[in-house]
Structure 1
Amino acid sequence: MNAQIELPYQRDQFYGRSRRSVPAARRFTEWSLTYWGLAKWRRAGDVTLCVSELATNALLHGVPPGRRFLLRLRYDGAVVRAEVHDSGAGVPRVAEEAGGDEEEGGRGLLLVSVLADKWGVGMRAPGKLVWCEFGIP
């Protein structure tokens, strides 16, 4: 009987409401991509940067005191998907949709919208998840 690799791969990690969580999320992403054999993939840095932006947004806007956020990474052989789940209210928007140059925030999602193939927001109770996807040719 031949052993088969099961896809999709999924890795989950919870992070507390701390500044250390963003660099830890980046390291977790880099480790996961390496584990999946994608460390040298030309878009690996884009995935890591987008995870950093989504984690930062969760900490700034979505994680109430005493709560955590979940980073979920998935790889199905064709797509890498990053999701950040938090318990905050509201729907994140890209800066150009949200307001002018004086407005603080939203630029991280602008970066995500440029680097990722797709991104979006899903609602959950409580809170939301913000996701982005990167296709692998």
Structure 2
Amino acid sequence: MPLLQQRRFSRSRSSVGAAREFVLTTLNQWHVDDRRDDIRLCVSEVATNALLHGVPPGREFRVRLSLDDLELRVEVRDSGDGRPTVRQPDAESRNGWGLFLVRELADDFGVTEHLPGKTVWAIFKVSTAVDHEALDDDLAGGGQ
């Protein structure tokens, strides 16, 4: 059975950092130690895109993580219009690198459209298999 955690974030600048912290806390709870920098950067880029381009005023975006054996799936869903596209960034520009980096760092990446909005997702193969018994013990306070 896959592990699942999700959280909603408001349309504010502080939400990008809060989304990164949520992801890192969840990875710690799940004992996922590898690829943390890649995962954190991708969450930051996709959450920033949701905040700047996908979350209408008064709405939120959602970050969802699932871990099934050796595959971590990260999703950021917003309710805004438009479909994100990967552009070849200009080396001189500071813009346009977000989805390019996500595509390069993740093992798989895509966009699922909804009415309203869309989910931008990335998959990372990790070396930590889910040990449900150890995780249950940790969550119950026995792994302290």
TM-score under structure 1 normalisation?
0.86
Please name the residue that 1:107 is paired with: 97
Aligned pair count? 127
Query: Structure 1 CA distance, aligned partners of 2:85 and 2:51?
Result: 16
The one of 49, 59, 64 aligned to 1:72: 64
The one of 73, 81, 90 aligned to 1:81: 73
Query: Structure 2 CA distance, aligned partners of 1:94 and 1:36?
Result: 30
Report if aligned partners of 2:77, 2:117 keep a CA contact under 8 Å in 1: yes
Query: Structure 2 CA distance, aligned partners of 1:92 and 1:19?
Result: 20
Ranges in structure 1 where 5+ consecutive residues have no aligned partner = 1-6
Query: Structure 2 CA distance, aligned partners of 1:70 and 1:118?
Result: 20
The runs of at least 4 consecutive aligned structure 1 residues that moved more than 2 Å come to: 99-106
Query: Structure 1 CA distance, aligned partners of 2:65 and 2:50?
Result: 16
1:45 offset after TM fit, Å?
Answer: 1.4
The one of 114, 119, 129 aligned to 1:124: 114
Please name the residue that 2:41 is paired with: 49
Query: Structure 2 CA distance, aligned partners of 1:61 and 1:18?
Result: 12
Q: Structure 2 counterpart of 1:34, which letter?
A: N
Query: Structure 2 CA distance, aligned partners of 1:103 and 1:59?
Result: 20
Query: Structure 2 CA distance, aligned partners of 1:122 and 1:105?
Result: 23
Please name the residue that 1:94 is paired with: 86
Counterpart check, 1:32 vs 2:26: yes
Percent identity at matched positions?
49
Query: Structure 1 CA distance, aligned partners of 2:7 and 2:16?
Result: 12
TM-score under structure 2 normalisation?
0.82
Please name the residue that 2:125 is paired with: 135
Query: Structure 1 CA distance, aligned partners of 2:91 and 2:82?
Result: 21
Query: Structure 2 CA distance, aligned partners of 1:101 and 1:16?
Result: 32
1:100 offset after TM fit, Å?
Answer: 5.6
